[in-house]
Chains A and B, each alone.
Chain A
Amino acid sequence: MSKINFLKPDKSNLYTYLYLGSFLFFISILDVFLNSFFKLNLTGFLPNFLSFLLPLILGFIGLYFIRIEYSGINKLDLLNKHINTNNFNAILSLLIIFVIIKSIPPLLSWFVIDASFAGDSKDVCSGSGACWTYIKVWIRRFMYGMYPNAEQWRINLSFVALMLLGSVGYFATDKFKKYLTLYYVVIYPLIAFLFIFFFISGGPVFFDFSYGIIAAILSIIIGFFIPSRFKFYYFLIVPLALYIILKYFLFFDEYIELGKLDGLNWVETGAWGGLSLTFIISFFCLIFCFPIGMAFALGRRSSFPLIRYISIGFIEFWRGVPLITVLFMSAVMFPMFLPADFFIDKLVRCIIAISLFEAAYVAEVIRGGLQALPRGQYEAAKSLGMGYWRMHIFVILPQALKLVIPGIANTFLALVKDTPLIFVVGLLEIVGMLNLAKTNPKWLGFAMEGYVFAAIIFWIICYAMSKYSYNLEQKYKTDR
């Protein structure tokens, strides 16, 4: 047996080093583990400072010993390659392992072991752990806001129905696949709107707004029969005209009960709230900001200078200001700009503000996709005799949108994460409800549990969305 040089591990004494190194490494982990889980300090006899650093030193020496290249043992090589490439990496790896071991017991005890789940009053929460009872008692408020308990089935039913209707795309057979775009762009939003309009609200809430929707849908339907030459002018004039006719000539005040459905109570939007409001707002803003953003993206690349400058002004304005000031504007400034008798619901104002704000970001993302397309695509389309709209709808936009799926998904994620800001106008979604519940004199002192709960919910939603967008990106990735 050759002499062992402890400063330079090599392959000739592989097993000596391996046993010695693993032993030291194991001891260091064991020390931290016992310290963390059972409050045992094996090295208590040493000076404070040394006792604190000992696991790190031992583990470092252990890792140094087992760092032998091409040892021929698969697992050892894998370990060395991944966490033990050099001294610096070894120390960092050890630190991370220690941090993980150290943080498990306090987290576990706070979340589960010392936490209280049972009961329905504050008295059960005397332990040092989390008080999930608080969440249990308040869950309806966090989910539905001030929406009356007896009526909450309406929200549940609507969401379930909308989710089922939204998943139609997965089950569509090839025969129906070509209608999916039409379905998702026109029919589905319409159904969603009707559900929320008639069912969740059950009253004349979206009154002014509903004329706009009806006018838009009517004009889209008529629009199919308009020759493509006039479509642009048609869509510029007719929806607005229809809206004015509907509002001022056809529907008179006696029809104000338009949104009323027999047997349902009216729940005004001030009572909406909680997580369901987050969903409603994100959903509507998502529907509205996409077409607006697309229009301005095209406008910014238009060959008409005036349209281009207006689009640039619009986009840069919204991108330059924080959302909170936009909401401030919608709350205090916007009513000043409208006729005195013209009332727009708070929620609708909010949705309009967020949609315009996000539309500017969507526009920039789509513009990125439009710019990334090679010129040849435009030229080829033009040489086939396609006009501006035909070229964009059939050639340019499908390719451009495919390119910008990640960007759009990020914008939508930002939208969902921005919804808590509506506290500015006095609407309380889940974070707002948490702040309200926190100040309830019966339930003081549980801020942490509430925020952790909301954080988990938001994290799940956002993480799922980002993963889904990644899948979508992979699915539509075409070689170009």
Chain B
Amino acid sequence: MNFKLKDIVPQLITVLAVIFIFGFFTYNAQINMENRGIDFGYGFLSQESSFDVQFSLIEYDGSHSYFRAYLVGLLNTILVSVIGIIIATILGVIVGVARLSPNYLINKFAAFYVEFFRNIPLLLQIFFWYFAALRALPLPQNAEAIFGVFFLTIKGLYVPAFIWQNLSIFLYSIIAAVLAIVIIRIHAKKVQENQGKQIPVFYISLGLLFILPLLSFFIGGVSLSFEVPVLKQLATTSFIYEGGVSLPPELIALTLSLSLYTATFIAECVRAGIQGVSKGQKEAAASIGLTPNQVLKLVIMPQALRIIIPPTTNQYLNLTKNSSLAAAIAYPDLVLVFAGTALMQTGKAIEIVSITMFTYLTLSISISILMNWYNKRIAIQEK
């Protein structure tokens, strides 16, 4: 047995130190809680919360439990993150490509955008949009309609609501279209491998995705109508819009600043990825007779994506974590609803902060496990 004191002692000391610190903390926490008469436990989650939340995706009011309040906060956080990620990705890719443009003006414009938004603290940007920019919007009664149906007011953005009939048939048609596309892709690949023929998969897919849902309108009895928000007078000076969907200004300010800020980082990732593919690859692909589209699709993108995706996922994670700044402008996200209001009411600091941290931790670790798996899958297999 290869037993060495030198190997064991440092580990032992470290572990003992960690155990000591944790023990010290737990011991103190116990004493402190005894002194203040607080008992530890997660039972409060099923109690009635008796506070209201302004904006919620699921049905919620004061009579629901704390656990439901937690769910409301979590869903709001996820909503902001998803919208932010979508906008940031689109904007980031455009800006990242623009930074590589041979056009001097576009190039400099994109660089200016990146340098400008990247170097200002996110919290300041959120405050700017929420307290300065969106407060300059008109009151509901003075708002002008955008395209006749959208109303951008100081109280938020009002958009028409969709009213579906037989929504499920429409969804089935989309699923059917996606399935058909997958089958056609597999078939096309087989045909190309066996006979060398190329089937225009892209146009067929596009057609399918368009025609099948359209058919569901004519044959399946699906219908769609819009409920346009209408101005309603509450009192002599107080107006609101009724009907439609209203997006609160907190949500708009938050998604706007999160996506503008994160897009700068994604743009840099995209730029680095495309620059990371060596010029020789492109020239080699062109010299064996691939069309420019094929060069991009088959040679450049697979290699660039390998460089782009890991840091971009990191940015998605950052965006999700940064969405917790919502608490600063009172958007009811996880931190505000749960670590803010619920903590104030119950006084269960340790339980609530630990649940909140654990939620974020689960979110991040699951994404990074997924990313590691993906990274391994696409990594170049070196022999």
Contacts and interface: CB of A to CB of B under 8 A. Distances in A.
Contacts of A85: 102-103
A328 B15 CA distance: 27
Contact of B350 (A316, A336, A416): A336
Interface in B1-52: 7, 9-11, 13-15, 17-18, 24-25, 28-29, 31-33, 35
A96 B109 contact: yes
Interface string A78-89: 000111010001
Given A420-B121, A421-B123, A304 B11 contact: yes
A417 B123 CA distance: 8
Contact of B119 (A320, A338, A340, A459): A459
B119 A418 contact: no
B176 to A, nearest CB: 37
Nearest to B103: A89
Contacts of B124: 420, 431, 451, 454-455, 458
Interface in A298-344: 304-307, 310, 316-317, 319-325, 328-329, 332-333, 335-340
A97 interface: yes
A306 B101 CA distance: 50
Given A324-B335, A340-B31, A431-B124, A307 B353 contact: no
A305 B33 CA distance: 35
Contacts of A338: 28
B105 A96 contact: yes
A462 interface: yes
B357 A337 contact: no
Interface stretch (B209-217, B227-235, B237-245, B318-326): B318-326
Nearest to B128: A451
Interface in B213-228: none
Nearest to A78: B104
A89 B102 CA distance: 9
Contacts of A193: none
A82 B103 contact: yes
A36 interface: no
Interface string A440-457: 000000011001101100
Nearest to B350: A333
A310 B10 CA distance: 13
B120 interface: yes
B163 interface: no
A236 B101 CA distance: 55
B10 A307 contact: yes
A127 to B, nearest CB: 16
B339 interface: yes
A399 interface: no
Contacts of B118: 462
A284 B335 CA distance: 27
Contacts of B13: 233, 236
A276 to B, nearest CB: 16
A283 interface: no
Contacts of B119: 413, 417, 458-459, 462-463, 466
Interface in A346-374: none
Of B24, B101, B120, chain A has the most CB atoms within 10 Å of the CB of B120
B164 interface: no
A191 interface: no
A320 B327 contact: no
A324 B327 contact: yes
Contacts of A476: none
Contacts of A305: 11
B144 interface: no
Contacts of A458: 119-121, 124
Contact of B120 (A307, A310, A435, A455): A455
Contacts of B14: 306-307, 310
Contacts of B183: none
Nearest to A335: B32
Interface residues of A, number: 60
B127 A451 contact: yes
A258 to B, nearest CB: 25
A451 B131 contact: yes
B121 A418 contact: yes
Interface in B87-141: 101-106, 109, 115-116, 118-125, 127-128, 131-133, 135-136
Interface stretch (B286-294, B300-308, B359-367): B359-367
A47 B373 CA distance: 59
A423 B32 CA distance: 26
A278 B233 CA distance: 47
Contacts of A93: 103, 105-106
A452 B115 CA distance: 16
A70 to B, nearest CB: 17
A279 B354 CA distance: 30
B109 A325 contact: no
B328 interface: yes
Interface in B361-383: 361, 363-365
A232 interface: yes
B103 A83 contact: yes
B356 interface: yes
B123 A321 contact: no
A471 B7 CA distance: 42
B149 interface: no
Contacts of B296: none
A447 B105 contact: no
Contacts of A321: 321, 357, 360-361, 364
B83 interface: no
A30 interface: no
Interface in A210-232: 232
B15 A92 contact: no
A386 to B, nearest CB: 16
A340 B29 CA distance: 9
A320 B367 CA distance: 10
B230 to A, nearest CB: 28
B132 A328 contact: no
Given A321-B321, A448-B132, A232 B120 contact: no
A217 B316 CA distance: 41
A329 B357 contact: yes
A141 interface: no
A83 B25 contact: no
B349 interface: yes
Nearest to B127: A451
10 A-B pairs with least C-beta separation: A462-B119, A320-B364, A82-B104, A322-B321, A337-B25, A322-B324, A320-B361, A448-B132, A417-B121, A306-B11
9 contacts: A97-B105, A236-B17, A306-B11, A310-B18, A320-B361, A320-B364, A431-B123, A451-B132, A452-B128
Given A83-B104, A337-B25, 6 more contacts: A93-B105, A325-B360, A333-B349, A336-B349, A454-B124, A459-B119
Interface of B: 7, 9-11, 13-15, 17-18, 24-25, 28-29, 31-33, 35, 101-106, 109, 115-116, 118-125, 127-128, 131-133, 135-136, 321-322, 324-325, 327-328, 335, 339, 343, 349-350, 353-354, 356-357, 360-361, 363-365
